[in-house]
Each structure stands twice: as C-alpha cells, then as structure tokens.
Structure 1
Amino acid sequence: MLLNYKYEIYPSESQKETLEYWLAICRQQYNSALLDKLNYYRKYKKGLSHMLLQKQLTQDKKKLTFLKTLPSQPLQEVFFRLEKAYNKFFKGDANYPKLKKHKDYTSITFTQFGTGTRKVKNKKTGMTKIQPVRYAASFDSDGNLFISKLGSIKIILHRKPEGNIKQAIIKRKGNRWFAIFSVERPANPPEILADLIKTTGIDVGIKKFAVLSDGTEIDNPTYLRIKEKSLKRQQKKLSRMKRSSNNWKKQVEKVQKIHAKVANQRRDFQHKQSYWISNKYSVVIVEDLTIRNMVKNRHLAKSIHDAGWGSFKHMLMYKCERNGGFFVKVKPHYTSQNCSACGRTVKKSLSIRTHLCKHCGTILDRDHNAAMNIEKAGLQQIKWKPIA
C-alpha cells in the first residue's frame, strides 16, 4: 500500500525564488499542453497522448533553454497530471480541466526518489554493466532533502517514513513549503483474531460529526464556524485595499493563515478520530455519498465543507487497509428512513431527529438508526459471517 508522509521544509530565499520559477514553468507547460490537446481533438477528432506531448517537450528543450533550468521529471509529470484530470472528467468525477492560475498550481513532483541502478552498454565491447544512479530528489549525507539543480534544503523528519519512498512532491502552501513523500509499505496483519468480530457502521452528519452503530457519538467541532467572524473581518479589510499593493499582499497572508489554521485543526481532528476507529474496529462501513452533488444545496454547503466528510472517509480507508481491516462503502438509499429493527420504511423529513417506528415501537436517534442500517447493509454486501 502507498502512504503519504508530509514534512515542512525550509528553503533559503534564493531557493524559494527558484522553486517559484519552476512552478511557473510547469504551470505554463500544463496550460500549453491543455490547449494543444484541445486543438488536436478539434482537428483530428482524437486525443493527444502524453507520449506525444513528451516527444514534443524533447524538441522544445532544444529551442527553449529555460526548460533545461529544472529537472526533467517535474516537466514530464505535468503531462501525467493533465491526463489524470481528463480521466476524472470522463468518469464524471470532475469538471473539464481548466487553465491553471498562479494560486492553482502549487506543487511539482519528482517521480523517483533516492538512488537506483541502470544498465549501460559499452559500444566497443557490446557488454552491459549496472551503474548506480542518484535521482533528482534524495537525501544527502546530512539528512537534508537534496534536489538536483537546487541543492540541499533543510527538513525536519519528526517521524521516519516507514517503507520505500517512491516519489516526492514539493508543495507551496501560503508562505510555507512542504515535502510529501509517497511511501510503499505492506499492510499490518491483524494481531488479535478476536478483533475480526468488531464491526461498525458510521453515519456522518452536520450537527453530529459521526454516529456509530453502537451508539457512540462524535461531536462536530465546526472549526470554520468558530473562525467565521474573524475571517469575515479580515476579508472585508482585504476587499477595501488596492489589489497587488504591499498592504494587500500582507492582508492576503493574514487571510491565508486563518484558512490554514482551520484546515490544520480539521485535519488533526479527522486523523485522531479515524485512527481511533480503525484501531478499534476491523470492519468499518460507511455510506458512499456523492458529496459533489450534496454541496449544491446552498443551505448545507458550508457545513458539509466544514465537516470534511470526503477527507475523513479517505483517512478511514487507508488506515483500515494499513491495519489489515476492511473498509466497505454501501449505497446511502433509505438508511435514514428504514427501521433498523423491523426493516419497515418510516418516512420522516430532515428536521425530525428521532426515529419512531409505528410498526415495532423502536425509538432511536435518527443518526443511530441510520448507522445500524449502514452496518447491516455492509455486512450483507461482503457476506460477513461472525466468528462464533
């Protein structure tokens, strides 16, 4: 399995300028490739593959010398990134790819990390031998991050990556820079056999962040709502300033810091809750919600974004896999309407928070009833048979 490890890095001022320049070049390549694909389809009625774009890049390097100022891997990865965006569009998971602005393109990817080997053929003897190779991104002898054509960058590894580092991403977030390592490692096998019988269904919500099928409730911290007044005040100041002025730039940083604070608080909360659930339960079952459609409701969109259901589900998924457990997604149809005891349908509006079944007399919290239905549906889906 693949896991991401994120660390803050501390480049010098000159290194920051170089990284910004590299981001600008990659963004320009992305936008240029997007327009090339669009024009190619209009002319030939077929797609332009990333292989053809890479061949064109090789030709462009002979004419445009500034393309040689950065390592080749980030430039090549631009075309894979664009291809992924098209694949998401054709699957219906995203809109059609758009031209990237400065604020939208914030990372470059080195698809190989550390050291490796390559085969070299001797033209005179015709024999091949294996030579060691140091990739564009690696660690130096002092434990700092080394980037080709940039040098060593200070990094604090507050925890060591467990596994083999496959690639590295350098990301800009406001005025801070981060290195994200994609690490390949095996999943942990279940340590105790008795844990296999521990199953749970999870119903996420707005008033309550999540309710488990055993009745456990997790309160919603609403970090964005708490910072909303402060954010509104700072954004109002920003709107009154002249764009691109020095004061405007300083105010932008203040707004970005508030957003970063909220995002960090939300991520920390979700990591802790997903860690606890994945360690306690071997089978975790959730609804396969289409969040993209749900946020179209303007009355609920902000609360849904503040809860962060999508990122929480992703954390649960990889943590369950890492612990050797099972993560199951079920269809969300009628999980709140059906009775978890008798299975009959009890229609109720969203404002009614208590499930009262007239057929069997079951009285439960609406979310608790939904979580129990989710658990039953998930166990039926995987044909789970409890261990006696």
Structure 2
Amino acid sequence: MLVRMNYKYEMFPNEEQMETMNCWLSICRHQYNSALLDKQRFYQKNKTGLSRHALQKKQTKDKQRFKFLKTMPSQPLQEVFFRLEKAYKNFFEGRTRYPKLKKHKDYTSMTFTQFGVDKRKIKNKKTGDVNVQDVRYAASLDENNHLLISKLGAVYVNFHRPLEGKVKQVTIKRQSNRWFAIFSVERHVNETVDFPVQSTGVDVGIQKFAVLSDGSNVENPRFLLKAEKTLKRAQKKLSRMKQGSNNWKKQRQNVQQLHIKVANQRRDFLHKRSYHLAKTYKFVFVEDLKIQNMVKNRHLAKSIHDAGWGAFCRKLEYKCRNNGGALIRIKPHYTSQDCSSCGKRVKKALSVRTHVCQSCGVVLDRDHNAAINIEKIGLDLLGLSPTL
C-alpha cells in the first residue's frame, strides 16, 4: 500500500533568490485575494459560485495584460486556486471559518505540484517521428543536493536525513527569515514491523500529557508556560516601540523567534512520543475529542493548545499507518466515569483525579481508568481479545 509523507529540509538561498521568492509569495497572495473577491462579487450578482477552472482561464488572460505574472513559474500561481477551493470546501463542511483576505504574514508558502524529470513522447511536426525525451518540471533535484527551480536557479538544501520514496510535489515555505523545502513523497507502507505489544489505550490530559492503559504516563512539558515570562517581556518591549521603525522590526523578529522556538519544541516532542507509540503498539486507541468545542472554555484553552492534542493524534495516525498499524478513534462518552473493573458508572467532577469504585473496591488514577476503558472499547470494536 502506498502512503504520502512529507520531508522538511532547510534551504539556503542567496540574497537575490530570497528577494525573488518573497516577490513570488506576494504575487501569489494578491492572486488569492483577487480570486476571493471575484468569487464574492460573482455570487452576489449571479447567486452561484465561480469555479476554479473559470478563475484559471481568467488568470491566463490576465497574463497578457499584467506581465509581472510571467516572472514566476505557472504552477504556484495555479495552485493558489486549489487552496481557495479547499478553503471553501472546509468552510461548507464546518471545519473552518469563512475564507478571509490574506495578509503578508498569512501567506508564507507556494507549491510546485509537479516535480522531477518525466519521460514524454514528443512528435516531430515535420517528419512525424515520435521520440521519447526527458522533460524537466519547474522544480527538480540535481546530484549535488541542490533544488532546481525554474526562473530562480539552484538552491542548496540541507538533506539531514534520507529522502525516501518518489517525490510528487514540493512546497517552499518562509518561516521568519529562514526558508524550508517540504517534499511530499509517495512510499510503500513498512509491513515488516514486529510490534512488541498488540494494543494500548491513550487518554490525553493537561496534568499529564498522556496516560496509557498499562499505567505508564507521559509528562506534559508545558513549553508555552515555561516561555511565557520571556514572551511577555519581549512583547511588552515591542508594544512600547514606534511601529515601523528599525528597532521595532528587530524586536518583532525576536518575538517571532521566541514563538518559533516554542512551536519547534512542541513539534519535536510530539514527533518523538508518537514515533515511540507507533513502533511499540499495533493498534492505538484514542478518544475522538472535539477540541474546537473544548477550547471555548477560557480557563483551559491555553493549556489545551499548549499540549497540542490534535497535532499529536494527526502525527500518531500517519505514523501508525506507515508502520502497518492503525490509530482508532472511539467515542469519549463516560470513559472516565465507568469503572474499568466492574463497569459500574461512578460519577465524579473533573476536579476529582482518583477513581474509587464502591462496588468492586478498585482505586485507580482517573486517567489510567479512562485509558483502560478506551482500550476495552477499541478491542471490542475490532473483535479482538485483550491479549495476543
């Protein structure tokens, strides 16, 4: 079975290349905003949507009027409309809010949807002969770890780990003053993994990041909480400076770096924890939490976002799939209330952290009890027994 994976590497463009890519991002952002306004006006006038194909045809005509559109490859420009189409789809399916106009800080990446060198049959119009020739797309790699991009040139990429699989597309992303190449590859599932344990239930929380059904737990690192004092001081200093001045720009850069550091620490932690679980357990059961509803509680929102439950489950899901296992989400109803030993429902407030069953006398940590129930429900869904 084939799966899609992303590999992220830092790239090191020169000053001229950085200026060119910043210009390309600005063009893509303006195209996105223009297309969004066109769709809104078209709907107000005709009471129907404007399709992606119509926008692409309009862009082709615009290239004849606005020559700056020809200064960059066509693939990232066309991909803008795929992003807008996906944004509308997510809105109508209730996953996100209505699409909004993008600011400079909001549009930070562009995607080359075709990558590498492909063999094509090219017919000679004069002789009628058909020859097979290699055709290089707008983005490809050479043998010296350089990313070749049409109208930009060769950019060095630090391949700190092997790039496994067939590259299907590449995304160029600006992160503060650094640039990254994100390769989307297609590879086969690793079906040779020998899992030490059949399954586990995972209950995520705030006091402890996760508790497993075997009683082991993962401490919550609270990266944002630890950096909050430094962030507060830096943001206070920024607010006192004159907006737009050189010192203001430097301090804004410092604040961005602090936020990036926290995000990188959290991402690294989530990758390592999810990798360990995906390698150890064939089936991992988690609660299907409605995080968007949970963060409406203003007392818990910051802690929930800092923990990163949603990102953890997404990483764990694709890592399990790539190793031949599976992440299975179950309904969270009464997993903390029901006794994992006798099944009797023991109602308790969220502040009560210990499960005490009066019927069978079992005493467990609240999260450990929930993790056992999660695993039991998951195994029942799969028709499996608790042991191998």
Q: TM-score, normalised by structure 1?
A: 0.96
| 2:316 equivalent in structure 1 | 316
For 1:30 and 1:129, how far apart are their aligned partners in 2? 39
For 2:80 and 2:144, how far apart are their aligned partners in 1? 30
Cα deviation, residue 174, structure 1? 0.6
| 2:32 equivalent in structure 1 | 30
Structure 1 residues 156 and 377: CA distance shift in structure 2, 3 A? same
1:238–1:251 CA contact under 8 A, matched in 2: yes
Letter in 1 for 2:225: R
1:59-94 CA-to-partner distances (Å, cap 9, x unmatched) read: 111111000000000000000011111111111111
Cα deviation, residue 205, structure 1? 0.5
1:169–1:181 CA contact under 8 A, matched in 2: yes
1:176-202 CA-to-partner distances (Å, cap 9, x unmatched) read: 11110001101100443xx38520010
Write the mapping of 1:255-334 to structure 2, written as runs, cut at 5 A: 255-334=255-334
| 1:165 equivalent in structure 2 | 167
| 1:2 equivalent in structure 2 | 4
For 1:354 and 1:128, how far apart are their aligned partners in 2? 76
Structure 1 residues 142 and 60: CA distance shift in structure 2, 3 A? same
Write the mapping of 1:14-93 to structure 2, written as runs, cut at 5 A: 14-93=16-95
Write the mapping of 1:175-186 to structure 2, written as runs, cut at 5 A: 175-186=177-188
Q: Unpaired segments of 5 or more residues in structure 2? A: none
Structure 1 residues 2 and 31: CA distance shift in structure 2, 3 A? same
Runs (4+) off by over 6 Å = none
Letter in 1 for 2:353: R
| 1:231 equivalent in structure 2 | 231
Structure 1 residues 197 and 383: CA distance shift in structure 2, 3 A? farther
| Higher mean C-alpha deviation, range 313-322 or range 334-343 | 334-343
For 1:74 and 1:117, how far apart are their aligned partners in 2? 22
Cα deviation, residue 127, structure 1? 5.1
Q: Unpaired segments of 5 or more residues in structure 1? A: none
| 1:94 equivalent in structure 2 | 96
Cα deviation, residue 305, structure 1? 0.8
Cα deviation, residue 266, structure 1? 0.8
Equivalent residue for 1:148, pick from 147, 150, 153 = 150
For 2:99 and 2:361, how far apart are their aligned partners in 1? 52
Aligned residues: 386
Cα deviation, residue 142, structure 1? 2.2
For 2:229 and 2:149, how far apart are their aligned partners in 1? 42
| 1:217 equivalent in structure 2 | 217
Q: TM-score, normalised by structure 2?
A: 0.96
1:190–1:325 CA contact under 8 A, matched in 2: no
1:243-262 CA-to-partner distances (Å, cap 9, x unmatched) read: 11100000011101111111
1:197–1:386 CA contact under 8 A, matched in 2: no
Cα deviation, residue 123, structure 1? 3.3
| Higher mean C-alpha deviation, range 343-352 or range 203-212 | 343-352
1:196–1:283 CA contact under 8 A, matched in 2: no
Cα deviation, residue 232, structure 1? 0.1
Letter in 1 for 2:297: N
| 3-state SS in 2 of match to 1:342 | coil
For 1:172 and 1:238, how far apart are their aligned partners in 2? 22
For 2:247 and 2:321, how far apart are their aligned partners in 1? 48
| 3-state SS in 2 of match to 1:360 | coil
| 3-state SS in 1 of match to 2:191 | coil
1:236-292 CA-to-partner distances (Å, cap 9, x unmatched) read: 000011111100000011101111111111111111111111111110011111111
Cα deviation, residue 140, structure 1? 2.4
| 3-state SS in 2 of match to 1:198 | strand
Cα deviation, residue 125, structure 1? 4.8
Letter in 1 for 2:80: V
For 2:381 and 2:72, how far apart are their aligned partners in 1? 50
| 3-state SS in 2 of match to 1:18 | helix
Cα deviation, residue 382, structure 1? 2.5
2:115–2:140 CA contact under 8 A, matched in 1: yes
Cα deviation, residue 128, structure 1? 4.0
For 2:46 and 2:131, how far apart are their aligned partners in 1? 44
Cα deviation, residue 334, structure 1? 1.2
For 1:56 and 1:239, how far apart are their aligned partners in 2? 43
